[in-house]
Amino acid sequence: MTKNSTMHCLSSQINIASILPPALIIEFLLGIPGNAIALWVFCFRMKVWRPSTVYLLNLVLADFLLILCLPFRIDNLLRGEHWVFGDPLCRINLFMLAANRSASISFMTVVAAERYFKIVHPHRRINRLSVKQASMMSCGVWVLILSLRIPLLTSQLLQEHNGTFLCRSFSSYSMIPTGILLHYFLYVVEFFLPFSVLLFCTLRITWVLKHRSMNRDRKIRNAIRVVSVIMLVFALCFGPGIVTGLTTLLIKQLSPGDCVSFRLASECFSASIAFTYLNSVLDPLIYCFSCTMFRNTLKKSISYLGLCQLEESRRGSVTSVT
């Protein structure tokens, strides 16, 4: 367990512990059914598979696993940020949060990049990937992400402060351990690099629309809509975390003795987790916008279930009459 002497302006975030739980509970209640339905559609109702479908399935998996970690954080906050599940579960929980956040960002970027290549470079070999090759690439993405996040499993993350056990991957270290420093670095890089890719894809696809006389091409307009939605969701969900996180580090570097400002910035950073989890709630919009097959399959499934219920009610009515 980390000692207070190795920490910088360490404190329990009482305000966050009282404000954040309602938002997280709402996101959990919305995110679980949305992602469960999406997972059901992809696994049991989708008949035709393409590389884009594989990437979206992996995005669903990342979101679903991310939302499953949420009850632990809600419980932690309801207890005044007092972690009662022990050090191993603290590490596992933070590892899953970071890994699934990275996976969600990665596959959102892959979906946008795939649309970019299909529109801007339609004759490139990458557009002819098979479902098997897309699956292998997705497995490679997961292996890379999990490998880079291993320091969260090997680092000491549970800290004691005035009798309260704090479970944080981002904390007020006086000297940041190497493994945690890698975690910080990845957190920053996995925002700016994918966001740059998303912005580039959006601008290039828009340029193609305007300069190739393809204003009536439904495929082009759909691609712009998909990439734009992904970029907006990305900025809304992950932007607040990166802004508040960098602000906290900047205060620590420029004014290390100003604990009041540091703690305020730290609380704002902790509050940004609500936006991070919001990503799992909003991503079903990406599935509907980016995959016509998913949208049509979902409509057919809802229609099918509705017809089944109608048929059962009719049968019940006939039985009661006879």
What are the tens digits of pLDDT across the range 48-98? 788 888 998 998 899 888 888 889 989 988 888 888 998 999 999 999 989
Q: Residue 127: what pLDDT? A: 85
CATH superfamily of 8-301: Rhodopsin 7-helix transmembrane proteins (1.20.1070.10)
The residues of the chain scoring below 50 in pLDDT are 4-5, 307-308, 310-312, 317-322
**What secondary structure does DSSP assign to 255-282, as a single string?**
-TT-HHHHHHHHHHHHHTHHHHHHHHHH
Tokens standing for 296? 């049509």
Q: What pTM was estimated for this model as a whole?
A: 0.83
Q: Residue 299: what pLDDT? A: 73
Residue 29: partners with Cβ closer than 8 Å, 6 or more residues away: none
Q: Residue 253: what pLDDT? A: 79
For residues 271 and 301, what is the distance between their CA atoms, to the nearest angstrom? 37
Q: Residue 141: what pLDDT? A: 94
Q: How far is CA 188 from CA 171, 181, 191, 232, in A?
A: 15, 11, 5, 18
Distance of CA 77 to the CA centre of its chain: 20
Alpha carbons within 13 A on the beta-carbon side of 78: 11
- DSSP, collapsed to helix, strand or coil, labels residue 320 as helix
